[in-house]
Structure 1
Amino acid sequence: MARPADRDAAQMRLAAVVIAVAMLAWIGVQWLGARHGWAAKWAYLADLAAIGAFVWSLLVTWRIWRRRNGA
């Protein structure tokens, strides 16, 4: 069974990857949309997806912080 510190480290790496991929995907969609003249609804969809990924990463990070502080 994995130790809690190992599990926390794996979850932090996952959160970091989600943040990085979400940011790159968001920038890519914004750039492609501007270049090809996509409708604004696709930009809003990309915004919502990125916000969802950031909120999820924030919640995972907050849970790890709470677990480490014994609260």
Structure 2
Amino acid sequence: MKKAYPFGMFVAVAEFPDVTVTVDAASYAPKGEITSAEQWPPIGSPIEGVVVDHVEHNHQVKLRVE
């Protein structure tokens, strides 16, 4: 995880540095449970997610963490 905000987080993907990767707060639900921002992993921690959307014109990818 690169940055966290109340609405979600930005994630870096080393292989695609020009792509903006986001996880909105409602899409971060490890083990099927939505968590509050206080329970999210610390900045710099790796996360795994599933691509649920992408926007070609602005190089944005949205993830869901299950």
TM-score (norm 2): 0.20
Larger Rg: 1
Q: Which has the higher strand share?
A: 2
Which is helix-richer, 1 or 2?
1
Task: Tell which has more relative contact order, 1 or 2 (C-alpha 8 A, sep 6+).
Answer: 1
TM-score by length of 1: 0.20
